[in-house]
Amino acid sequence: MKQNALQAKDNFVRFNPEKFEFSENGRYIRFKEGVLSYEEFCRISNEYGERVEMLGHGIKLSGLRLDTFRRSPKCVKCGAVGTRFHLELGSVNDMSPHFNLYGRDAEGKELMFTKDHILPKSKGGRDSLENMQTMCTVCNCEKGNKIEGEE
Ligand SMILES: [Zn+2]
């Protein structure tokens, strides 16, 4: 399944090089024309609500992850700031296009952002906006490992 999805991704990019490219981390297919600054994204979602038609796809502008980013684009741990949204195709098993938030670290390397549970789900933390904070994937990964190590 995983292999098939990766194969599908490869083909997608190979056959549409004018429309798609890989994200810098190589994990996602990115629509070349599907980039919005953080401010543009907030303005469009305020104006059009939860969903828009973009590049031939129905795209979600709202949801727990995106709402967390809209509240703050800044990693609570290292202070890196998400500055633009890229419309991308899926994690490995999900080929539906969605927006991901990116910024750059101090060395200029592309940094992806994610939502983080303030109180972890394993400790009873809820899937609600109040329990979410923005974190870059590097800090989120470190936090994840640390919590696992402590328990
Ligand atoms: Zn961070």
Which pLDDT tens digit goes with each residue over 62-74? 999 999 999 999 9
Number of domains the chain is built from: 1
For residue range 16-29, list pLDDT tens digits in order: 778 888 899 888 88
Q: Is residue 64 part of a domain?
A: yes
From ligand 1's centre to the CA of 55, what distance in Å?
Answer: 31
Note the pTM of the prediction, 2 decimals. 0.84
**Is residue 57, in this structure, part of any structural domain at all?**
yes
β-strand 20-22 against 84-89: which pairing, if any?
unpaired
CA of 80 to the centre of ligand 1 (A): 6
CA–centroid distance, 60 to ligand 1, in Å, is 25
- Sequence-distant (6+) residues with CB within 8 A of 59 are 51, 52, 53, 87, 97, 98, 99
Q: What distance in angstroms lies between residue 126's CA and the mean position of ligand 1's atoms?
A: 22
Q: Find the length of the chain.
A: 151
Q: Which domain holds residue 118?
A: 34-150
- How close is the Cα of 72 to the center of ligand 1, in Å? 13
Structure-block tokens of residue 41: 């994204």
Q: Is residue 21 part of a domain?
A: no
8 Å CB contact between 125 and 118:
yes
Q: Which of 102, 106, 113 is nearest to 136 (CA)?
A: 113
Q: Are 116 and 134 in contact (CB under 8 A)?
A: yes
Q: What angle do CA 76, 60, 141 make, to 5 degrees?
A: 30
Instruction: Give residue 142 CA to ligand 1 midpoint distance, Å.
Output: 9
Distance 114 CA to ligand 1 centre (A): 10
Residue 117 lies in a domain: yes
Domain annotation covers residue 132: yes
- Ligand 1 centroid from CA 134, angstroms: 9
Residue 20 lies in a domain: no
* Average pLDDT for 24-35: 90
Which of the residue ranges 16-25, 31-40, 74-83 would you say has the lowest mean pLDDT?
Answer: 16-25
